[in-house]
Amino acid sequence: MDYDPRSEPHNLAHDPTTSLVVPRPIGWITTISPTGVINLAPYSFFNLIASHPPFVMFASNTRKHSQRHAQSGNEFVFNLAIYDLRIEMNITGGEYAEDVSEPELAKLAMAPSRFVKPPRVARSPVALECLHSQTVPLVSSDGKKHNYEVVIGEVVNVHIDDAVIVDRMIDMSRIRPIARLGYRGDYTVVDNIFEMKRV
Ligand SMILES: Cc1cc2nc3c(=O)[nH]c(=O)nc-3n(C[C@H](O)[C@H](O)[C@H](O)COP(=O)(O)O)c2cc1C
């Protein structure tokens, strides 16, 4: 089948596009509100978009708290979502008022970051401290503004739990990151790794 998502129906049970680019890593984003409330929320429209130096992005469907705080405070932290924290991650994905602190709600201990004010999730083995670089609105070819805006961050500190470093390499089997699949409740966990030498 083929369809033009701008104008043609897919005739499937759900919009398939989010099931077609998978798995999507989860950016578990910490920010701080202007009144000092610690905010934590998952974003699966997330990725590392450059290295040397690294940049990351997450896309917000309307200007949610994470986007607004990343812009107003100029900082955010990416925490790696892992299988052992899947329940807590899911709790933080609920829609809460701005004065609700999701880490408290999910009973998640936070640890101070090195260079930025938003703290990291203490039990997440990887955290990237970011400075807000720019926010890019998405505009369709017909000039219509999309609901989504892309928030880009420059990574200024990389935190790695020493316990997941083995022989000077990151041991994924000790991390078990989770990622989003297409339909609403579907996830995957990285627990199967194969190697292929580059040609
Ligand atoms: C696994 C997962 C991934 C999500 N990905 C996104 C996303 O990419 N963009 C988005 O706008 N909302 C996404 N959401 C929903 C937000 O996490 C939710 O709207 C949350 O309340 C936003 O919080 P905030 O307003 O504190 O930023 C996702 C939720 C879950 C559980």
Pocket test residue of 17, 18, 43 for ligand 1, highest count of atoms within 8 A of CB: 43
Sheet holding 46-50, edge to edge: 38-43, 27-32, 75-80, 126-139, 145-160, 55-61, 46-50
- Residue 184 predicted with pLDDT over 90: no
The reported pLDDT for the residue numbered 183 is 86
CA distances from 58 to 11, 24, 161 (A): 29, 11, 23
CATH class as words, domain 28-182: mainly beta
The DSSP result for 61-72, as a single string, is ESS-HHHHHHHH
Distance, CA of 123 to CA of 44 (rounded, Å): 20
Average pLDDT of span 165-173 = 97
Pocket test residue of 18, 40, 64 for ligand 1, highest count of atoms within 8 A of CB: 64
CA 159 to chain CA mean position, Å: 16
Distance, CA of 38 to CA of 61 (rounded, Å): 20
Query: What are 123-149's pLDDT values in tens digits?
Result: 999 999 999 999 999 999 999 999 999
Atom of ligand 1 lying closest to residue 39 CA: 26
- Residue 52 predicted with pLDDT over 90: yes
List beta partners, residue 87.
none
- Residue 100 predicted with pLDDT over 90: yes
